[in-house]
Structure 1
Amino acid sequence: MLHYPETQDKLREEIMKVLGCSARPSMSQKVDMPYTCAFIQEVYRFRTLVPLNVPHKTNKSFDINGYTIPKGTTISTNIWAVHNNPDVWDEPNKFKPERHLDDKGNFVQSKHVIPFSVGPRHCLGEQVARMEVFIFLVSLVQKFEFLPDPDATDLPDIDNGANGTAFVPFPYQLVAKEI
């Protein structure tokens, strides 16, 4: 939100329209917050937390794109590549929540945003995590405005971080101004 303050403004406008200043967010309001849902989905896509999925082993041989993957092969899915595929995403290196809204402003769930993986071995905590992210984000934006650190000369670097099992941004300071 520090790099894209207009998104914070749009989020807050939608949250205030649906909840006002004091109502507690719940999942039942999610359907009335398409921009918030689009923002969250774009965050999942734009900054893939676990770029290479948890490794799995194949339980049978299979063919994919002319290659045979033998039974017992350890594979890791490149989720980052799915989230940044230029054949699917226009300007994948740009943060654009609007890409997840239709022409009427309705949220469109994408099968190409897979932060929790897919299939029978996807993250067991996906539903809880999605609820927590929604409630947490809405609660924070409802009560605070996030601003750059006034003592910093630059915004935090969001293009680089510590890459390992998970992508972790480098430490930075910000101001959470109570509304």
Structure 2
Amino acid sequence: MTPVLRSGVVAAVAALILDQASKLWLLYVFDIGRRGAARVTPFFDLVLAWNTGISYGWFQTDSPVGATILVAVKAVAVVLLAIWMARSHTRTATIGLGLIIGGAIGNAIDRFAYGAVVDFALFHVQFAGKTYSWYVFNIADVAIVAGVIALLYDSFFGTPAAKAP
């Protein structure tokens, strides 16, 4: 295994471990299901949301067939991303792909274990008497977004020599 590929594998494993450890801690140690929402800061809460869809709650499904289709699509995506990662020549792209793979596997584990993805992080802000909030997300989602940002950065700002086959 090349050092570049190793960095992608390490990123995938780290994202997966951090994601699953945070979810297990919140569900079984902190017991967020019993406690309910917990304010951490004036702009950040821990809440429990079961996402039966994909990113941002799109394509919500409660049917076993729908969940199976989502897992199958995710499995194909992970295999294709792993092939891309194995062929990648830049550390930035390889790490980005590893983060996406680790996040995707983390959310897929939730789907198998619970029938839905465990989301728990909620950022919000008060402005002009109204509360504005972002989607509830998890560490796997953060890894996926960070991976996409790394790929975009590598695509636009990576060195031309590093991009050559």
- Coarse TM-score class (shorter-chain normalised): under 0.3
Higher relative contact order (CA 8 A, sep 6+): 2
Task: Using structure 2 for the length normalisation, give the TM-score.
Answer: 0.25
Asked which structure has the greater CA Rg, the reply is 1
More helix by share: 2
